Amino acid sequence: MEFPFDINQLFSERISILDQNLIASRQSKEKPDLRVKIATVLDELGKASAKAQDLPAPITSASKLQFQKHQLYLMKDGESSRGRGVVVGFLKVGYKKLFLLDRNGVHIEVEPLCVLDFYIAENLQRHGYGIELFNFMLQHQNVEPVLLAYDRPSTKLLAFLARHYNLRQSVPQVNNFVAFEDFFHKRAVSQLRRVKKSDGDIKPYSLMEREAVRQEQRTLPWPFAAPLSPHRSVSSQCSQSPSAGSSPRRVLPCVTHPAFAGDSREQSPHSPLMDCCRTRRSNSLSRSQLGFN
């Protein structure tokens, strides 16, 4: 694409990387009027891309780039147009949080790098510019093409990916994005997070949720309460008698201290629970005889 101003003055590199600051070189940073021309170039490229993809409105413009954390790779041919340069095309990428379906229909929550817009001027296509621009982005982002998600790719882009990167087997999605089969195979497990499915899969409890459940179980009446911790004192459980109106509690048998191993009660055929009850009744009678009741 040709413009009525010097493209080489705006973009010093063959492939320039722009972000929300719309700065492509040191000159454009120091001269605000150059940023106005850069915005004009981006707006025209966005319109041309939308027209080529039969979109109702451009998805790339200077104003949108300023309010989005995306990166735009702009390619030029600095020797054309009598040394003033022409714009060959652009490639816009950015990270997006997506819910994708794998081949088994499992929902996966990911935030991959996405190809959001890709355009090469019609009169400059099939000259190797597209593959050069795309490979530059892959190297700069240090990512494989199969690990990208593609937003509403045109038939030309799908053919481009199949021809140059052998990306053919895509997994159908309910949104406008396209992800290929190896996207789910090659991504690190730490980058994939399963989300709650509609059929009732339950997400594992967090540590705080597990502690809350334990606290709730401690307050439930027997037999709904969780088993008591083994480190709690057995004697204290035997000494507690249920009060009127309270829920029944599980009573653990009293264990005779080893010091009384020679006591005749230890040889008794009765259970330790009966011994404990006899001891409690004997203590009650002694207190009655002494006038404490």
| Residue 217, marked binder | no
Note whether 226 and 218 are within 8 A (CB): yes
Note whether 2 and 76 are within 8 A (CB): no
H helix runs in 169-206, sequence order: 181-186
| Residue 270, marked binder | no
Q: Per the structure block, which two tokens stand in for 201?
A: 């899969």
Q: Per the structure block, which two tokens stand in for 214?
A: 């334990």
| Residue 131, marked binder | yes
| Residue 82, marked binder | no
If phi > 0 it is left, if psi is from -120 to 50 it is alpha, else beta; for residue 234 that is alpha
| Residue 185, marked binder | no
| Residue 126, marked binder | yes
The DSSP annotation for 28-88 comes to HHH-HHHHHHHHHHHHHHHHHHHHHTT-SS-S--HHHHHTS--EEEEEEETTTTTTT-EEE
Q: Per the structure block, which two tokens stand in for 293?
A: 């009741």
| Residue 150, marked binder | no
| Residue 52, marked binder | no
Q: Per the structure block, which two tokens stand in for 100?
A: 């994708």
| Residue 122, marked binder | yes
Annotation: binding site for acetyl-CoA: 118-131
Annotation: binding site: 118-131
